[in-house]
Amino acid sequence: MSEKEITTYFEYIKNYVLEYSPKLISAILILFIGLWATSIITKLIKRLMRKREIEATLILFIGNLVFWALRILVLVTVITQLGIGTSSFVAILGAAGLAVGLALQGSLSNFAGGVLIILLKPFRVGDVIEAQGLVGTVKEIKMFSTYITLPENKLAIIPNAALSNDKIINFTVNGNLRVDIEIGVDYGSNFKQVKEVVFNILNNHPLILKEPAPSVFVKTLNNSSVDFAIRPWSTAADYWTVRAEVIESCKLAFDEAGIEIPYPHQVEIRKVVKEN
């Protein structure tokens, strides 16, 4: 290689360095400042969500989502600063995001439902709810599903998409609950006696609240029975115990008082054929 060629080569390198060194330096600065700012912004967002008492699971997820979204933005900015085309890179990211979204469509619906449940708080851990035809105590609320312990101690795992799009009855949120019981008696029964027997059970039950006071009244005149509505009040924790014990106590007390609870009777009909 001649001296002139070497001089030309070094001159080219010098011009290249002089031309691109400002871009390189600015790209390095953007990278370090961007990474530092990403961490600071993520911590601030998490701190703000904790002050608003948002669920810890949602705080962690949103924090990670913001963190990586900002880092990708920093990376794209650095690449652009270096003069590298980013249109293909962005197109690849978009295609990958679309493919992942289509593949996880059901999971994303459950995630969206979980976000709505955590933000709107129709129920909390420990609440007794009725949903999807099940009644139980909320054990855990996760991002994709909710765990409910049923009265028989079975664990029901319900997708959050189904929960967020269906009717939910919360037995706990308003505090004390009214226990609705209906018992039918025979038309020949003494209604005053029926009320006295039921009130005696309600007033002496240790788990039934004095305020609001329980009530007993005729609700429906059916074809074969007179249906009485029995309305005691209890705490959410004692709801099922009160309901079961009042029904049992009413049956035993009615038997003792001679009050009949109608039920279908089967009568055997025999056809007697006489021989001529």
pLDDT tens digit sequence for 57-110: 667 777 777 887 888 888 888 877 777 666 666 666 666 666 655 554 556 777
Do 166 and 188 reside in the same domain of the chain? no
Is 263 domain-assigned?
A: no
Q: Which domain holds residue 165?
A: 122-170
148/223 same-domain check: no
Same domain? For 160 and 189 the reply is: no
CATH number of domain containing 144 = 2.30.30.60
With respect to residue 127, please indicate whether it lies within any of the assigned structural domains. yes
Alpha-carbon distance of 228 to 209, in angstroms, equals 20
**Average pLDDT value over all residues in the chain:** 80
Q: What secondary structure does DSSP assign to 85-105, as a single string? A: --HHHHHHHHHHHHHHHHHTH
DSSP 177: E
Low-confidence winner among 1-5, 143-147, 231-235, 249-253 (lowest mean pLDDT): 1-5
Name the E strands within the chain. Answer: 128-131, 134-141, 145-149, 155-159, 168-170, 177-178, 181-185, 215-221, 226-231, 233-234
For residues 157 and 69, state if they share a domain.
no
For 35-71, the pLDDT digits (tens) are 898 889 888 988 888 887 776 766 777 777 788 788 8
* pTM of the predicted structure, to 2 decimals: 0.53
